[in-house]
Amino acid sequence: MMRILHCADLHLDASFAASGLSAAAGSWRRVDLRSTLGRIFTLARERQVDAVTIGGDLYQQDCLSPDTADFLVQQLAKLSPIRVFIAPGECDSYTNDSLYALTNWPENVHIFSEGRLSAEELAPGISVWGAACPPARGHEALAKFRVDRDGFNLLLLHASGPEVSGKALFSVDADAVRAAGFDFALLGHCHDGRLWPKDQPYCAYPGSAEPLAPDEASGAHQVVLLTIRDGVCTPETIPISQWRYFPLRLDLTDCGSTAEAAKWLEQLVQANSTGDEERTVCQVTLTGLPGFSLDIEALAKQIETKAYLHYEPQLAFPYNLEQLAQEQTVRGMLVRRLQARIEGASSLRERAKAESALLCALRALDGKQVGFDEIR
């Protein structure tokens, strides 16, 4: 019997700025990614596996920290005598000046460095085939390829599935895996883990070990434990992630103040909490027509939660700006100037601030009361 633990797409040293996280939160997430790798390797020892396979994007080359090589060498060396096979991907591509090429790796580690498939013997009668991503996109890794070894043959590759063929460096599909003579494919690149085909799977995406962006909220983030016994391969998925993203939608219609909006949002976060708010990122879409001028920064300061909240305002505007912009009045001039600022906003946050400023000004011109916390 042979056991293999497969993971992929850890993206060590990744940036999380696009998720709306602060620099401090991003730093913590990067530290946590290293902890996730440690949990995977601990699981490998607990399950007494014979090998660990990594399907690419182990680290983020363009964000690499100076100590990442030392960290990986230490972690991989501790796994010995468990063997480790790595097929470099897009974000950790194998080049002459890459971490892969310049680092003295432990003896139990094999990195596939060529853009064509080659084989390493894992055990008598069991071979692991792998390759590093080639420079050309949309390369069909298995086109005209046939396994020339007897026994059980595993494919290890960073590649897209058929639904996104041509968009990634390698592309494969289930029929090609079988036609090439492989018994099972251990893959990376797709951040939503799954086994396929569904009936009798022989291809596995573990998914990214942790969700890395809001669009990965509903995906599976796991490792795959592969057991080979008497020529029969049995995959088992094991959840590994601790972080989660989830969307929230809050209608602020009939809400009368920033304090009330903060209370509503706190209640919504608590209702969707799973107990570990410190590792939760909420994408908060704010809708409706509130009875006050909303300032996102003021709202954020009044909310008590350990979760990270990223706001996407989609509020209705209580004035017909197109009509007001035609007025040859102070109000019309104000609308025209702030509309230009709104349209030129570089982010949703900047757009929301400009819309808030315009709403405050229009309400003031109409003789309506504007709260002190609305003026920023």
Using the 3D structure, point to which of 239, 266, 296 is the last residue of a domain: 239
DSSP secondary structure of 55-97? -S-SB-GGG--TTHHHHHHHHHHHHTTSEEEE---STT---TT
Task: Give the H/E segment covering residue 281.
Answer: strand 280-287
Of 346, 370, 344, nearest to 356 by C-alpha is 370
Each residue's pLDDT expressed in tens, for the chain with a length of 376 residues: 999 999 999 999 999 987 778 899 999 999 999 999 999 999 999 999 999 999 999 999 999 999 999 999 999 999 999 999 999 999 999 999 999 999 999 999 999 999 899 999 999 999 999 999 875 555 567 888 999 999 999 999 999 876 554 444 678 889 999 999 999 999 999 999 999 998 899 999 999 999 999 999 989 999 999 999 988 999 999 999 999 998 999 999 999 899 999 999 999 998 888 778 899 999 999 999 887 878 888 999 999 998 999 888 888 777 778 888 899 998 889 989 888 888 888 876 677 778 778 878 887 887 766 654 444 4
Tell me, yes or no, whether 175 and 277 share the same domain: no
**Residue 212, SS3?**
coil
Tell me, yes or no, whether 254 and 338 share the same domain: yes
Other residues' Cβ atoms within 10 Å of the Cβ of residue 233: 18
Q: In whole angstroms, what is the distance from residue 288 CA to residue 314 CA?
A: 8
* Structural domain that includes position 110: 2-239
CATH number of the domain residue 179 falls in = 3.60.21.10
Summarised one tens digit per residue, pLDDT across range 17-30 is 877 788 999 999 99
Tell me, yes or no, whether 195 and 155 share the same domain: yes
Helix axes 330-343, 348-365, angle to 10 degrees: 170
Tell me, yes or no, whether 225 and 260 share the same domain: no
- 245, 251 contact by CB (below 8 A): no
Q: For strands 280-287 and 51-54, give the pairing.
A: unpaired
Using the 3D structure, point to which of 211, 239, 267 is the last residue of a domain: 239
Q: In whole angstroms, what is the distance from residue 135 CA to residue 178 CA?
A: 25
Tell me, yes or no, whether 80 and 134 share the same domain: yes
- 253, 219 contact by CB (below 8 A): no
Summarised one tens digit per residue, pLDDT across range 33-81 is 999 999 999 999 999 999 999 999 999 999 999 999 999 999 999 999 9
DSSP 137: T
Whether the model pTM is above 0.95: no
Tell me, yes or no, whether 176 and 249 share the same domain: no
Tell me, yes or no, whether 217 and 274 share the same domain: no
Tell me, yes or no, whether 7 and 150 share the same domain: yes
Tell me, yes or no, whether 219 and 153 share the same domain: yes
Q: In whole angstroms, what is the distance from residue 170 CA to residue 155 CA?
A: 13
In the prediction, which pLDDT does 373 show?
46
How many domains would you assign to the chain? Answer: 2
Tell me, yes or no, whether 129 and 39 share the same domain: yes
Summarised one tens digit per residue, pLDDT across range 354-373 is 877 887 888 788 776 665 44
Tell me, yes or no, whether 210 and 319 share the same domain: no
Give backbone dihedrals phi and psi of 127, rounded to 5 degrees, phi first.
-120, 145
Rg (C-alpha) for the chain, rounded Å, is: 26
Helix axes 23-46, 68-79, angle to 10 degrees: 20
DSSP 311: E
User: Which long-range CB contacts under 8 A does 271-278 form with residues at least 24 apart?
Assistant: 272/246, 272/248, 273/307, 274/244, 276/242, 277/305, 277/306, 277/307, 278/306, 278/307
In the prediction, which pLDDT does 342 show?
85
Q: What is the dihedral of CA 333, 339, 340, 344, to 10 degrees?
A: 160
Which segments of the chain does DSSP mark as H helices, in order?
23-46, 68-79, 99-102, 174-179, 258-271, 296-301, 321-324, 330-343, 348-365
Tell me, yes or no, whether 260 and 348 share the same domain: yes
Using the 3D structure, point to which of 220, 239, 258 is the last residue of a domain: 239
Burial (Cβ within 10 Å: 0-12, 13-18, ≥19) of residue 95: middle
Per the structure block, which two tokens stand in for 282?
């909420």
Residue whose structure tokens are 């005209």: 144
